[in-house]
Amino acid sequence: MHSRVSINALSSFNWPVAQDIALLKELGVRHFGFPMLKIDADVPAGIAAVRASGLSIASVAASASHSSLLEPDSALAALKPAIDTAAALGSPLCYFTSGTSPADTSTDALCEALTKALQPANAYAAERGVRLAIENNSVTTRHMGYVHTIRDAIQLAEEANIQICLELQNCWVERGLPGLFRKHAGLFGVVQVSDYKVGEEVRLNRRVPGDGSMPLVWLIGQLLEAGYAGLFEIEVLGPHIESEGYASAIRRSAEWLSNLLDRLGA
């Protein structure tokens, strides 16, 4: 398995983290990321299990998508558990979506308020050796966040002094990506990879890389040419993944990505 392949445990949504770890070891994957919801029932036990695995933790996703992050106290409270978990496990990154928003509020106003509200949480994370990162979430999940385009994510990251969890699923249709990648590759804390077949339901409906319509070979090639040196993280979910079964879908995803990175000389 290529050393830059990571698996996000959201890909096996209904598995316990112990089962995730067993599959990753079987596949020879060295890195994985996970959402806090995987260990929320018993955080100390979850941390102990992950630490005992010996795997490298690429990222921890905060359970903040249904929270308002527009005030400093609420932003810190929502992000703190994931920041603490990332620090405890030696993970460099805690990522999140921008969360819920009040009605009748422009995206400009929301991003301005979020930039200010994140500063205490950003300082708290920095003290613990963790970088915060905003994920560009889908417009179909607007209730979980309002930062959708890569351009908006870049602007927010620069203004808030944070990084980006670059979700290719949610930005592959945008124009001018090679130039944006070249100019801003240093902002990308992790790149998440999945596929989508044009014509199907968009919301939470991903496919194994290579099974859909996204120009993933081109996208990943452009990121490498731009100098991105981080991990590529598989995050697949939805009816096709559930139907195939987590083990098969994750195995095929990891093998496809590993083979591509080998071919591209990553």
Give the tens place of pLDDT for each residue, 187-205.
999 999 999 999 999 998 9
Per-residue model confidence (pLDDT) at position 77: 96
Q: Is the pLDDT of residue 130 over 90?
A: yes
Per-residue model confidence (pLDDT) at position 243: 97
**Band (251; pLDDT cuts 50, 70, 90):** very high
Does CATH number 3.40.50.10420 belong to domain 5-207+231-236?
no
* Buried b or exposed e, range 44-58, using 16+ CB within 10 angstroms: eebbebbeebebbbb
Residue 183 burial (10 A CB sphere; 0-12, 13-18, 19+):
exposed
Average pLDDT over residues 165-180: 97
Q: Is the pLDDT of residue 67 over 90?
A: no
pLDDT one-digit tens code per residue, 19-28? 999 999 999 9
Domain ranges of the chain: 5-207+231-236
Average pLDDT over residues 55-63: 95
pLDDT one-digit tens code per residue, 77-122? 999 999 999 999 999 999 999 999 889 999 999 999 999 999 999 9
Average pLDDT of the residues of the chain? 96
Cα torsion 39, 162, 8, 214: sign: positive
Residue 147 burial (10 A CB sphere; 0-12, 13-18, 19+):
buried
pLDDT one-digit tens code per residue, 204-214? 899 999 999 99
Side chain identity at residue 114, one-letter code: L
Stated pTM of the model: 0.95
Per-residue model confidence (pLDDT) at position 101: 86
Q: Is the pLDDT of residue 64 over 90?
A: no
Average pLDDT over residues 250-259: 98
Per-residue model confidence (pLDDT) at position 146: 95
**Band (65; pLDDT cuts 50, 70, 90):** confident
Per-residue model confidence (pLDDT) at position 38: 94
**Band (254; pLDDT cuts 50, 70, 90):** very high
Average pLDDT over residues 249-254: 98
Provide φ and ψ at 264, rounded to 5°. Answer: -85, -5
